[in-house]
Amino acid sequence: MAVELLKGNVAFAEAAVRAGCEAYFGYPITPQTEALEHMAKRMPELGRVFVQAESEVAAINMVYGAAAAGARVMTSSSSPGVSLMMEGISYIAGSEVPAVVVDVMRGGPGLGNIAPAQCDYLQMVKGGGHGDYRSIVLAPSTVQELIDHTVLAFDLAEAWRTIVVVLADGSLGQMMEGAELPPMRPPRPPSERAAWALTGAIGRPTNLVSSIHLEPSEEEAFNQRLQAKYAAIEAAEVRVEEHLTGDARIAVVAFGTAARLAKTAIAAARDDGLAVGVLRPITLDPFPTAALRALAERVDGLLVVEMNAGQMLQDVQRVVAERVPVRFFGRTGGVMPMPEEIGAAIRELAHEVGAADDAAPWQEVPA
Amino acid sequence: MTHAERPIADVVIAGFGGQGVLFAGQLLAHAALDAGLHTTWFPSYGPEMRGGTANCTVVVADGPIGSPVVGRPQAAIVLNLPSLDRYEPLVAPGGLLVVNTSLVDRAVARDDLDVVAIPADDVAAELGHPKLTNVVLLGALLARHPALRALGRLTPEHLATTLARVLPERHHHLLGANRAALERGAELAGAAPAAVAPTGA
Amino acid sequence: MTTAPLATTPVYERPDALTDVPTHYCPGCTHGIAHRLIAEVIDELGVRETTIGVASVGCSVFAYRYFATDFAQAAHGRAPAMATGLKRVSPERLVFTYQGDGDLASIGAAEILHAAARGEAITVFFLNNATYGMTGGQMAPTSLIGQKTTSSPLGRDAASQGSPIRMSELIAQLDGAAYVVRRSLHDVVQIKRAKKAIREAFEVQQRGLGFAMVELLSSCPTNWGMAPDEALGWIRDAMVPAYPLGDFKVPEGLRPARKGAHA
Ligand SMILES: Cc1ncc(C[n+]2csc(CCOP(=O)(O)OP(=O)(O)O)c2C)c(N)n1
Ligand code: SF4
């Protein structure tokens, strides 16, 4: 396959098709709609399932149904739509069926706007739906990663029988970038669906997909099993990128689009003689606790940069536990932080912790 | 510079919806990709477009690209007055500003920019294709932008090859006109004056 | 030579219930006409200061900018529920919602049915343009069979995408619904009829007769890919046959007030 100029929303939809996605259920919402439109064209063309649901509530429950039948299935939406999916996500987690959800985040709360934001971190990483469940949350920062994570999401969802969320934002969904699509994997034939799936009880005991455990002790046993699974996921699936952290005295911690903005900012800071790097959690859940803790031992200060009011910040503070100063720079409401502003925040922190001694003299950055 | 990616160019293209602003940016991005470079294309989208204005940012680099957006672009093409008003103050000192004077009735006030003023609507009309304003201006940018011109891989000829690849078959009768528009823009832009600072300044 | 000033009678003025700002609607969109009709009726009834509007999510999400009345902006599909809350705690106010077909007939189908079933004393203006305007022309529950949209690229196919929902007929079945009519905005005669229905729908609420809804067949030239006049023609020739105009329910209490009601 060759590198092509691809729009993020189209790229992840096509990646899902090529990963053998058998069914897509969704509802239009900006800045994600091109994905739904791509599926509307592609899925019927390939004899696969596409349904424009009457709402996101219906879409996620259609996903629940198809997943219960053992099919590779996904939905995609953006923040207000994802809020409506929370009940279904909790049910899917509570019955341990695999499903993929792509959230192309936009500014909130409420109707907010359609500009790029990262304000669903807490909703996606900490739950959002009810109950003691967790999801695997992947945070792509390029169109290529958006493609790769979508493919990976299906594999992880099936390997762990869990919800996998690809947490993108309006910028990744709307931008075009050179990227390579994966080769076409044919969908798994229905005859090869998982043993637990609802395929009809021909010659076998019946299967049940349900999240009800009326007896508290049974619900507790189930929860303990879930927690054990999450611990195993934590041990096996952490993904993190460290960019120029080797000699860094200051590190930016950022995910997704904010991380790529930060990379441009640290390039300029390094030109001024500041030793700065970026730690980018690729999995937001499981969170790269060990890598962050190790980095916190080496650097003089951490700057968390997010397109929200400081959501991942809570996790960074928890992990770092006052080993080094943790500062925050964020823009909210769909405003993207410009690399110049991030650079100013880096310099401020460098001066605060004395990491700027051999750096070029302070310069006001034009806003 | 080995420690970080530094783009070869970042360009903002801005105008009214319908002036082909997004397309011009896509053409540049496609051509950059064909030239073996990294590129991002970032559009304005949504209500901003309903308001009648559109813009996009194209970043071209020879390595992975960090930010697809820039606070202070090194180059801008402005197709109308509101876009000049918005981007003139933002272009980085020493940068390049390509202005469609057919829809702009004032001079550029800054004296620290390389300004290319082209009545591109009229030029496109003279070529018999009034819709190619955007392509004329892109041709001018590519001829005048020091770093992009220095690549030697984004000439009108290269862009014409890219267009032949990305344009749907039914528009192929327009390939010749597009190439002529790129060439005319390049011709009108002439060579860059020596004073222009290299990008990244 | 001097000329005496001509005596002028205004033939067109902005209703007080409309604000003096240009709308964001596309040229030729009938949302603007519907706004004006509603505002004229609010003026004529003298209820500008006692009316509360609820905007939905769709192109008319910014309706609150254009009406000079109190306004709320609901979540997608939930305007009838929000209006219920508003009306129940302020029964002396006139409460209306303004909803598109995606909002009312798709994501908000449950809310509208139940508001009608409860006989909620609210007035609903339902703009049916057979598409999702704001998000760029996807299929709506009211899209016609064979209609090409960005999410039904081959044309709506009943077998996989279902058939258009005739909401007025559906809602008229409910005992709680007092007044349900369908009008169109495609020509002057229809626009005049639409205005009369809008007035009646407010009067139903004023007289405490129950739930009232006016469905207005509306155009979306932008996403239909048509010139404005072509789009009006498409309402007349394609939509009206699928969505017959008429009265599906009119309360007894309103009858005496009606002269020359049309079918
Ligand atoms: C929960 C949720 N899902 C989806 C959207 C995206 N959305 C905004 S407007 C709209 C459809 C509007 O169509 P319609 O109600 O027909 O009104 P029109 O724009 O045609 O006037 C959708 C799906 C949203 N804002 N919230
Ligand atoms: S998109 Fe359609 S419904 Fe929305 S304002 Fe434009 S014409 Fe009207």
- Of residues B47, B53, B51, A112, the one with CA closest to residue C59: B47
Indicate whether B4 belongs to any domain.
Answer: no
Q: Does residue B198 sit in helix, strand or coil? A: coil
DSSP assignment of chain C equals ---PPPP---S----TTB-SS---PPTT-THHHHHHHHHHHHHHHT-GGGEEEEE-SSGGGGHHHHBSSEEEE--TT-HHHHHHHHHHH-TTSEEEEEEEHIIIIIITHHHHHHHHHTT-S-EEEEEE-SSBTTTTSB--TTPPTT--BTTBTT---HHHH-----HHHHHHTSTTEEEEEEEE-SSHHHHHHHHHHHHHHHHHHHTT--EEEEEEE---HHHHT--HHHHHHHIIIIIHHHS--EEEE--GGGGGG-SS---
Cis omega (within 30 of 0) on the bond before C153?
no
Q: Which two tokens stand for residue A90?
A: 């909790």
**Average per-residue pLDDT for chain B:** 90
B51: nearest CA in chain C? C24
Q: Is the CB of C25 under 6 A from ligand 1?
A: no
Give the residue-averaged pLDDT of C93-102: 98
Q: Could you tell me how many CB contacts below 8 A there are between chain B and chain C? A: 4
Instruction: Report, as ranges of residue numbers, the positions in chain A whose pLDDT lies below 50.
Output: 362-367
Indicate whether B2 belongs to any domain.
Answer: no
A276: nearest CA in chain B? B3
Overall domain count for chain B: 1
Q: Identify the pLDDT of residue A1.
A: 64
The model's pTM: 0.93
Percentage with pLDDT > 90 across chain C: 90
Give the residue-averaged pLDDT of C182-190: 98
Domain that holds residue B137: 9-188
Q: How far is CA C236 from the centre of its chain?
A: 17
Q: Identify the pLDDT of residue C257.
A: 60
Residue A155 burial class via C-beta count within 10 angstroms: exposed 0-12, middle 13-18, buried 19 and up: middle
When pLDDT is cut at 50, 70 and 90, the band that residue B199 belongs to is very low
Q: What are phi and psi of B160, to 5 degrees?
A: -65, -40
Q: Does residue A19 sit in helix, strand or coil? A: coil
Q: Identify the pLDDT of residue C10.
A: 85
Contacts (Cβ under 8 Å, ≥6 apart) of A144? A177, A178, A179, A180
The residue written with tokens 């009838």 in the block is C80
B4 compared with C235, residue with greater pLDDT? C235
| Alpha-helix residue ranges (DSSP H) falling in chain A | 8-18, 33-45, 56-68, 79-84, 86-94, 121-125, 143-160, 170-174, 216-236, 256-271, 289-298, 312-320, 339-352
When pLDDT is cut at 50, 70 and 90, the band that residue C2 belongs to is low
Q: What is the pLDDT of residues B158-178, one digit of tens each?
A: 999 999 999 999 999 999 999
Q: Which two tokens stand for residue A363?
A: 């310069």
Q: Identify the pLDDT of residue C6.
A: 72
Angle between helices A33-45 and A8-18 (to 10 degrees): 30
Give the residue-averaged pLDDT of C212-230: 97
Q: Could you tell me how many CB contacts below 8 A there are between chain A and chain B? A: 88
Residue A46 Ramachandran class (φ > 0 left, ψ -120 to 50 alpha, else beta): alpha
Q: Identify the pLDDT of residue B3.
A: 39
Percentage with pLDDT > 70 across chain B: 89
Give the residue-averaged pLDDT of B83-108: 96
C259 compared with A304, residue with greater pLDDT? A304
Q: Is the CB of C143 under 6 A from ligand 1?
A: no
| pLDDT higher than 90, residue C246 | yes
Q: Identify the pLDDT of residue A367.
A: 39
Indicate whether B200 belongs to any domain.
Answer: no
CA of A27 to the centre of ligand 1 (A): 9
Domain boundaries, chain C: 31-249
Q: Is B71 on the interface with C (CB under 8 A)?
A: no
| Domains with residue ranges and CATH for chain A | 3-236 (3.40.50.970), 241-353 (3.40.50.920)
Indicate whether B103 belongs to any domain.
Answer: yes
Alpha-carbon gap, residue B17 to B42, rounded angstroms:
15
Indicate whether B47 belongs to any domain.
Answer: yes
Q: Which two tokens stand for residue A87?
A: 């009940």
**Average per-residue pLDDT for chain C:** 94
ipTM: 0.93
Give the residue-averaged pLDDT of C67-83: 97
Q: Is C24 on the interface with B (CB under 8 A)?
A: yes
Q: Identify the pLDDT of residue A361.
A: 53
CB contact under 8 A, C109 and A54: yes
Percentage with pLDDT > 90 across chain B: 85
| pLDDT higher than 60, residue B70 | yes
Alpha-carbon gap, residue C150 to C131, rounded angstroms:
10
First-to-last alpha carbon distance for chain B, in angstroms, is 14
Q: What is the pLDDT of residues C112-156, one digit of tens each?
A: 999 999 999 999 999 999 999 999 999 999 999 999 999 999 999
Least CB–CB distance from A52: residue in C77, C134, C138: C138
Q: Identify the pLDDT of residue C39.
A: 98
Q: Is the CB of A333 under 6 A from ligand 1?
A: no
Q: Identify the pLDDT of residue B49.
A: 45
| pLDDT higher than 70, residue B8 | yes
> Which residue type does B13 have?
I
A33: nearest CA in chain B? B46
Least CB–CB distance from B46: residue in A4, A30, A171: A30
| pLDDT higher than 50, residue B50 | yes
Q: Identify the pLDDT of residue B116.
A: 97
**DSSP secondary structure code for residue A336 in this structure:** P
Alpha-carbon gap, residue C139 to A179, rounded angstroms:
30
Q: Are C215 and C25 in contact (CB under 8 A)?
A: no
Q: Identify the pLDDT of residue C177.
A: 98
Q: Identify the pLDDT of residue A172.
A: 98
Percentage with pLDDT > 70 across chain C: 95
Pick the residue of C59, C61, C76, C165 with the most A CBs within 10 A to test the interface with A by mutation: C76
> Which residue type does A291 have?
A
Residue among C23, C24, C29, C33 whose CB has most ligand 2 atoms within 8 A, to mutate: C29
Residues in B touching A338 (Cβ below 8 Å): 67, 69-71
Q: Are B59 and B65 in contact (CB under 8 A)?
A: yes
Alpha-carbon gap, residue A48 to A19, rounded angstroms:
13
Q: Is the CB of C142 under 6 A from ligand 1?
A: no
Alpha-carbon gap, residue A203 to B162, rounded angstroms:
59
CATH number of C31-249: 3.40.50.970
Indicate whether B198 belongs to any domain.
Answer: no
Q: Identify the pLDDT of residue C5.
A: 67
Q: Identify the pLDDT of residue B6.
A: 79
Q: What are phi and psi of B53, to 5 degrees?
A: -110, 150
B29 membership: H or E segment, kind and range: helix B21-34
Say which CATH number the domain at B97 has: 3.40.920.10
| pLDDT higher than 70, residue B106 | yes
- SS3 track for B123-169: HHHHCCCHHHHHHHHHHHHHHHCHHHHHHCCCCHHHHHHHHHHHCCH
Q: Identify the pLDDT of residue C11.
A: 85
Residue B95 Ramachandran class (φ > 0 left, ψ -120 to 50 alpha, else beta): beta
